[in-house]
Amino acid sequence: MLFKCKNCGGNTVYAPDKGKMYCPHCESIDSEEKVGGNSLVQCVNCGAPIQLSEYTSACRCEHCGTYLIFDERVEEPFKPGLILPFRVSRELAVAHLEKELKNRLFAPADFLSAKSLEKMEGVYVPFWLYDYDANYDFAGEGTRIRTWRSGNMEYTETSYYEVGRKMEADFERVPVDASYVMEDGVMDLMEPYRYQELTDFEPKYMSGFLSERYNQREDELADRAEGKVREASENLLQGSLTGYATVRPYHKNLRIHKKDTCYALMPVWQYVYRYRDKTYQYHVNGQTGKVVGVTPVSRAKVLAYGASVFVMVTAICSLAVHVLEIL
């Protein structure tokens, strides 16, 4: 399928800065109509051949530039229950990148230049969102230590306490990405999203972006979700054990129960830069603008910074010597 403008026939796309469907040709707002078509081998707009991976659910035709959405990959059993529409536009994502680079002391000044940009695209990444409840029983021994002096003697008093905790917690929408292409570590760093802004899935939100259906089933990723719940539960427990010098556990029992799972699409801006024969990837959270990526290091900036530090230290030492001579 694709979305066409009722006024001019152009390809309408979802505009994050407007929060609406937009025709870049005649600048009409919410004038879209859905055009059917379910070919996985040719563009339904111009008829040119297209090449897809087995997971691609939305792409851009390389010949006519139309954004295509493939019905059978957004319908059952691959229909997402929820989608988090893009909130950050392409221009704003670039602004977030530039701001981030300014905060990285040794980044080359020309790193984000247009000539080094190889790829820039908005992508919906498939996620499974898990709901869990957790019950944590804990028993242990805590100590508190008091020290004081009397005359020339120092005294230490150690008090021992029975420590018990019974905790119940609900974890909603624990996210795990279901894409082989996106690195798990990168997607974990992209968090958090504002999950309260999730909305019921509609294909129109995908127009103007790339997307893929889930690559891994929910049961294949449940261990990763449970790992996040276990870590969060442990952090909650440790946060409740303050005020003790030491805590020695002798009973810990964490019970986790999965309540529900939902398939959702999350927005990410992908940028690929080619700089001095090396490829660098940056990812920008399509909702919050959070930036994740590794920056090349400018040797000139490192040397200049080292030289400036050396000059500063030399000046301070010279001043100290001068003061000592006066004294």
* Residue 191: burial class (beta carbons within 10 Å; 0-12, 13-18, 19+): middle
Provide the pLDDT for residue 181: 86
Please say whether the beta carbons of 22 and 29 come within 8 A.
Answer: yes
**258 pLDDT exceeds 50?**
yes
**232 pLDDT exceeds 90?**
yes
Tokens (6 digits) for 200: 């019921």
Question: Which residues lie below 8 Å from residue 55, measured CB to CB, with a gap of 6+?
Answer: 73, 179, 180, 212, 213, 214, 215
Q: Is residue 59 situated within a structural domain?
A: no
What are the pLDDT digits (tens) for 300-315?
Answer: 444 444 444 444 555 4
Q: What is the 3-state secondary structure (H, E, C) of 217-238?
A: CHHHHHHHHHHHHHHHHHHHHH
Residue range 190-203: mean pLDDT, rounded: 93
Question: Which residues lie below 8 Å from residue 319, measured CB to CB, with a gap of 6+?
Answer: none
Please say whether the beta carbons of 57 and 69 come within 8 A.
Answer: yes
Provide the pLDDT for residue 317: 52
What are the pLDDT digits (tens) for 32-53?
Answer: 999 887 778 889 888 899 988 9
Tell me how far CA of residue 121 lies from CA of 234, 271, 287, in angstroms.
Answer: 38, 7, 15
Provide the pLDDT for residue 294: 72
Q: Is residue 242 situated within a structural domain?
A: yes
Residue range 189-208: mean pLDDT, rounded: 94
Total of domains in the chain: 1
Task: Report helix, strand or coil for 202.
Answer: coil
CA distance 6 to 25: 12
Q: Is residue 273 situated within a structural domain?
A: yes
Provide the pLDDT for residue 89: 94
Answer with the residue of higher pLDDT: 323 or 210. Answer: 210
Q: Is residue 233 situated within a structural domain?
A: yes
What DSSP designation does 195 have? G
Residue range 8-26: mean pLDDT, rounded: 94
Provide the pLDDT for residue 182: 85
Residue range 235-242: mean pLDDT, rounded: 94
**319 pLDDT exceeds 90?**
no
What are the pLDDT digits (tens) for 127-137?
Answer: 999 999 999 99
What are the pLDDT digits (tens) for 83-117?
Answer: 999 999 999 998 888 887 777 665 566 655 555 56
What are the pLDDT digits (tens) for 53-65?
Answer: 999 999 999 999 9
Q: Is residue 200 situated within a structural domain?
A: no
Residue range 6-18: mean pLDDT, rounded: 94
The mean-pLDDT minimum among 135-139, 175-179, 265-269, 301-305 falls in: 301-305
Q: Is residue 47 situated within a structural domain?
A: no
Q: Is residue 42 situated within a structural domain?
A: no
Looking at every residue in the chain, the average pLDDT score rounds to 86
CA distance 116 to 93: 17
Provide the pLDDT for residue 323: 46
Q: Is residue 229 situated within a structural domain?
A: yes
Residue range 239-261: mean pLDDT, rounded: 95
Domain span at residue 281? 123-174+207-296
pTM: 0.82
Provide the pLDDT for residue 324: 45
CA distance 268 to 187: 9
Answer with the residue of higher pLDDT: 5 or 279. Answer: 5
Tell me how far CA of residue 146 lies from CA of 142, 149, 156, 157, 245, in angstroms.
Answer: 14, 11, 6, 5, 10
**76 pLDDT exceeds 70?**
yes
